[in-house]
Structure 1
Amino acid sequence: MSDNILEVRDACVTFEKRNSVVHAVDHISLTMRRGAMLGLVGESGSGKSTLARAIVGLQPLDSGEVVIDGMDQHARARLKGHARAEVVQMVFQDPYSSLNPRMSVGEAIGEVLDTYEHLSHDERRESVAELLRLVHLGPEVAPKMPNQLSGGMRQRIAVAKCLAVRPKLIVADEITSALDVSVQAVVLNLIKSLHRELGLSMLFISHNLAAVRYICDDIAVMHHGRIVEIGSAEQIVTAPKDPYTRSLVGAIPSLEDAGRDVLLDPALAGGAAAAGAASVAGAAAGNTGDRATAVAAGER
C-alpha cells in the first residue's frame, strides 16, 4: 500500500470562454499522504473548485491523471456501487443542496447506510445515532427536517452523510465559507476532532488562509490554475516564498481586528478551540441554534 492517498499528475482542465481558452487547472501535480490534512488555498477563480471536481470525478481532465488509493480515474470508473463511492467523497459549500428537504436527518443518513449495508431497524437507528455523535450532535436531531436546522448543523449533517460511506479520501470544498464566523469555529474544531479520532485523509479547500493553517498539516497555494507554492502550514504562513503567497498572508487582518484570524496564533487558537468545543457541547445537548450556542460559549 502506498503512503500517498492522492496523487495528481500533470492535470489539465480548460474551458472555452468567448474567443479564448481558460486554463482552470494548468499542469498541476501534487501528492497527499495517507491520513493527512492538506489545505488548498487561493482566491476565487484560482481553479480550486475545478481541481476538486476533477479529483472526485465530476469534471473530466483534458490531460493528466488523478490517482486515489492506487487507482486512476479509469480504474475507479469501472468500480460499482459502494466500492466506487468509498474511494472518495466530496462535501460541498452549500449543505442544503445535499439534503432532501422532504427527508428527516435520520432518513437522509439512513438512506446512505442502506446503499451498502443490510441493517435491521434497530441497527440502522444505532448507526445513525453513532454518525450523529461523530459530528457532535445528539440522537434527538434525527427526526428533524433540514429547514429546522441552522446552517452549521446542516453542514455537520452533510459531513455525517459523507462519513456513512467510510471514504478513503474526503474533499471538502469551501465548507465554512457560507457560515457565520462563530459557527465556522464549530465546524473547524469538528474537522480537527474527526481527524484525530478517525485518521481522516482530507483535502480542505478554502480561500481563508487562517482556517486552513488551523486544521491542516500542509498547504498548497493555487493561483491562475497553477500551484505556486506548497509547504508545511507553518512555513507557508510565517515564511512564504512566492509573491502571491506573501500577498495572501499580508491580506490577513491583524489580531487586533478581533477577526477570525485568531486561528493564526497558536497561543490564541487554544482559546478558540475551547470555545468551539463548548459550543459543540451545547449543540449536542439539543440547542439547534449554532450562533446562539457559540455566543454563549464566548465566540463573538
Structure 2
Amino acid sequence: MTESSTAPETITTSSGEIQLLMTASEAFPALERAVLSAQDRIVASFRIFDPATKLHSPEARAIGDDWFDLLVHTFKRGVSFDLMLSDFDPIISYDTHMLTWQSLRQIWSAAELAGPDAKVAVRPGMHPARIGLLPRLGLWPSVRKELREICGWLNTLEPSHRRSALRHLPGLCTCLGDCDDGSTKMRFGGPPFLFPASHHQKLAVIDGEQLYIGGLDLNDRRYDTLTHERAADETWHDVQLLVRGPAAAAAETYLTQVRDAVDGKGNVQIQVLEPVPRS
C-alpha cells in the first residue's frame, strides 16, 4: 500500500486551504506532487532529508525511483532549490552528523548531474547553542570515551570505507588524526565544543504559494500507512499539513530569516508565525 484510499481532509480558513495529511502515505505523495508543480523556487528546512527515500506518487514514480531522481528532474527544469539541513553534534550524535553530510553530498551530486545551470543552495544548519567551558570540563572524560569508541568503529572499516566515513564527519577533523599505519586516533587537546541542540523543523515552501509543514522528516524510516503494517518499534507516525494561501509566503520569509541567522548575518529578528483561525 503506497497511498491512503481516503482523500485527505481539507479545512477552509480565512488564510487559505489547509489539507490534513495524517500519515506519510498521504504526506510523501503530496510533497512529491508539490515539488513537481514548482515553477520557480523551493525553499525548505528539514532535520533529515534523505535523497535515497523512495518515491510513492504515480506522477513522481514516472520520473524515477527515489528523491535523488526527483531532485535531478527538478533542477533540470530550472527550479531553484534552497535547503537548510540540520546538523548535529559530531561527537555525541556522530551518526546523524554523518547522515547530514551524506545527504548534502548526494544533493550536490544531483546538482552536478543536472548541469551547470542548476540553481541549488544547500547548507548544514548547526544550532548556535553551545555548552559552556565548565560543563565541557566536567563532561570531558565521557567525551573522550565517545571519541575512543568512534575511533574503534572507524578502525573496523576497510581503509577506503574509513576514508569515506571521515569525509562525512567533518566536525571531527580537529579531534581525530591518522596513525602511521593509516588507522584513526584521537588528537591530543582540550575539551571540544559541544552542540546540545538541533534545528527541529520540517517544512518546504513551493513558489511562495504552497506550504508543506509538520512533524515528518523525509526518509524511508518515517514512511507509514493508516494500517501501520510495521512492527511497533519500527512504526513512525506523524502529521503534516499542506497549506495554500498567505501562510506559505510568511513561512518563506521565516525560512529566509532563519537561514540568515544561521549564516551569521548580524542581529536577525525571526518573524513568529501567527496561528491561523478556523473560519
TM above 0.5, one fold? no
TM-score, scaled relative to structure 2? 0.29
More relative contact order, 1 or 2 (CA 8 Å, 6+ apart): 2
- Greater Cα radius of gyration, structure 1 or 2: 2
TM-score, scaled relative to structure 1? 0.27
Bigger fraction of residues in helix:
1
